Structure 1
Amino acid sequence: MEVSRQSSEMTVTAARGPRARTRRLILQTAMQLMQQGQTPSVSEVAEAAGVSRATAYRYFPSQAALVQAVVDEGLGPILDWKSRSTNAERRMADLLDLSMPRIDEFEATFKAALRLSLEQWAKRQAGTLGEEPQFTRGHRIDLLRSAIAPLSGRLSKRRFDRLAQALSLVFGVEVLVVLKDIWGLDVQEALSVSRWAASALIQAAEGEANT
Structure 2
Amino acid sequence: MPTTKSSPPLSDTDPEGRANQRRRTRQALIDAALALRDEGHNPTLAEVAERALVSRATAYRYFPSIEALIRETATDRGMKPLERFWQPGDDPVEGIGRAANELNRLLIADEVGLHVMERSFMTVWLESESHETPLRPGRRMNYIEPIVDSLKDVLTPAARKRLKQALTIVMGTEALIAVRDISRASIDEALDAAAWAARSLVRQALAEAEQARRKRSAKSPLERT
Q: Same fold (TM over 0.5)?
A: yes
Greater mean alpha carbon deviation, residues 82-91 or residues 160-169: 82-91
Which of 44, 58, 72 aligns to 2:50? It is: 58
Say if 1:151 and 1:116 are closer, same or farther in 2 by CA, change over 3 A: same
Say if 1:29 and 1:180 are closer, same or farther in 2 by CA, change over 3 A: farther
Letter in 1 for 2:100: L
Kindly indicate whether residue 104 of structure 2 is the aligned counterpart of residue 100 of structure 1. yes
For these two proteins, the number of residue pairs brought into alignment is 166
Q: How does 1:73-92 map to 2 (within 5 A)?
A: 73-82=74-83, 83-84=86-87, 86-92=90-96
Q: How does 1:195-206 map to 2 (within 5 A)?
A: 195-206=195-206
Letter in 2 for 1:76: R
Letter in 2 for 1:23: L
- State the distance in 2 between where 1:135 and 1:29 align: 26
1:23 paired residue number: 36
- 1:56-88 deviations in Å (ceiling 9; x for gaps): 432243132665564142243425222125211
Helix, strand or coil for the counterpart of 2:158?
Answer: helix
Say if 1:166 and 1:77 are closer, same or farther in 2 by CA, change over 3 A: same
1:109 paired residue number: 113
Equivalent pair of 2:97/2:195 in contact (CA under 8 Å): yes
- State the distance in 1 between where 2:156 and 2:113 align: 36
- CA RMSD of the aligned region, Å? 3.0
> 5+ unaligned residues in a row in structure 2: which ranges?
1-31, 213-225
How much has 1:135 moved relative to structure 2?
Answer: 5.1
Give the TM-score normalised by structure 1: 0.66
How much has 1:137 moved relative to structure 2?
Answer: 2.7
Q: How does 1:1-211 map to 2 (within 5 A)?
A: 23-24=36-37, 29=42, 45=44, 53=46, 55-60=47-52, 61=54, 62-63=59-60, 64=62, 67=68, 70-82=71-83, 83-84=86-87, 86-124=90-128, 127=129, 136-210=136-210, 211=212
1:40 paired residue number: none
Helix, strand or coil for the counterpart of 1:207?
Answer: helix
Give the TM-score normalised by structure 2: 0.62
How much has 1:179 moved relative to structure 2?
Answer: 1.0
- State the distance in 2 between where 1:22 and 1:142 align: 23
Equivalent pair of 2:103/2:140 in contact (CA under 8 Å): no
How much has 1:109 moved relative to structure 2?
Answer: 2.4
Q: Which has the higher helix share?
A: 1
Equivalent pair of 1:171/1:194 in contact (CA under 8 Å): yes
> 5+ unaligned residues in a row in structure 1: which ranges?
1-18, 31-44, 47-52
Helix, strand or coil for the counterpart of 1:139?
Answer: coil
